[in-house]
Structure 1
Amino acid sequence: MSYAIIGFGSIGQALAHAFARKNIAVTVASRRPPEALAPQARAIGPRVVAKPLREALEADTIILAVPFGAHREVAKALPSWEGKTIIDATNAFPEPEELGGLPSSAFVAKAFTGAKLVKGFNHLIAATLATDPIVEGGHRVVFLSGDDEDAIAPVAALAKQLGFAPIKLGKLNEGGALVHARGRAWGQLIFQDVFKKEQ
């Protein structure tokens, strides 16, 4: 399984630190050229490699860590997203009118034709996401939701590999609503830093 993080701001870099801690290879890309990202990527870890966007998108699993409005530009980079899993770590805040009442991730999913989309890693602030998720005998929780049950299992496995405790919330418009930013109200689980103790 190959992984890429698209977007190399505070969330993208926090996620790159999570991969580096576990020595898992990941490519990173953004609207900036790879040579602009390379020094920071190398500083995070030797297996964090900056590549041009099109090359990074060859990965099987792609974490979307761009500002919400930039997802369309990423989606245009490939004619089809068949066989890809997109992990949507974006937050639409303030909520754009264009959502038309849809959860933001359901809106994002429409742009990535053929992909399986899972909402995840969006409810923690970057500074928290960047720190070791194994704390005081427990694991920091990440909430996952998606309309394709088959897509959630491998994302949950990745979260575990990274040291997190994945908790599945169900479909995007059901439990997933708990981690969506909506208008002036945040979902009830946004910014909740929850730990799961070892059994």
Structure 2
Amino acid sequence: MSYSIIGFGNIGQAIAKAFARNGIEVSVATTRDPESFASDAAAIGPTIIPKKLAEAVKADIIFLAVRFESHQDVAKTLPIWQGKTIVDVTNAYGVPPEELEGQPSSRFIAQAFFGARLVKGFNHLIAATLDQDPAVKGGRRVVFLASDDDAAAAEIGALAKNLGFAPIELGGLSEGGLLVQARGNSWGRLIFKDLVKFD
């Protein structure tokens, strides 16, 4: 299984650190040349591999950690996304609901990534919190996942566990997804909730 993170701002780097802590290789890319962020990737660890966008999208599982309005630029990189799982880490705060055609933001994004399985996840925490080791006082930091594809949600849940988090599945994008999305001037009810699960 291969992994990539598209977007290497604060959130993208926080996710990269989770991979690095666990010695899991992940490609990172932006629309810029990889040399421009190679030193930032190297500072995180040797398993963080800077690549061109066209190379990074070849991964099986792709974390979409760009600004919401940039998702269509990424989607144009491939004509079809069949066989790939997209983890939507974006937030559409400030985007009017009518621009989303009244849909949950993740379902709107899923239309751009034709053929991919989409999981909403890793977006409800601020970067400074996501950046921290998810092992907290004997428990594990929670990440919420929502998807219309149960198998994809389970796959990303297993990855989240490997990264040290405690995944909680919320159901489909039109139900659970609304709890962890932002759109217009509102935040979903679980956004910014920093929870720890104790087994």
Q: What TM-score comes out, normalization by structure 1 length? A: 0.98
Q: Does 1:149 align with 2:157?
A: no
Q: Does 1:61 align with 2:61?
A: yes
Mapped partners of 2:128, 2:174: distance in 1: 28
Mapped partners of 1:79, 1:3: distance in 2: 19
Shift of 1:9: 0.5
Mapped partners of 1:83, 1:169: distance in 2: 23
Q: Does 1:21 align with 2:21?
A: yes
Alignment partner of 1:118: what SS? strand
Alignment partner of 2:55: what SS? helix
Aligned partner of 1:164 in structure 2 is 165
Unaligned runs of 5+ in 2: none
Aligned partner of 1:11 in structure 2 is 11
Mapped partners of 2:78, 2:190: distance in 1: 33
Cα offsets for 1:39-97 (capped at 9, x unmatched): 10010000001000011111000000000000000000001100000000000011233
Q: Does 1:193 align with 2:191?
A: no
Shift of 1:31: 1.1
C-alpha contact 2:119 2:152 (8 A) present in aligned 1: yes
Mapped partners of 2:178, 2:197: distance in 1: 21
Shift of 1:37: 1.2
Aligned partner of 2:93 in structure 1 is 93
Mapped partners of 1:175, 1:110: distance in 2: 18
Mapped partners of 1:115, 1:63: distance in 2: 12
Unaligned runs of 5+ in 1: none
Shift of 1:176: 1.4
Mapped partners of 2:183, 2:52: distance in 1: 33
Q: CA RMSD in A?
A: 0.7
Q: Aligned partner of 2:170: which letter? A: L
How many residues align structurally? 198
Alignment partner of 1:95: what SS? coil
Identity %: 63
Q: Does 1:135 align with 2:129?
A: no
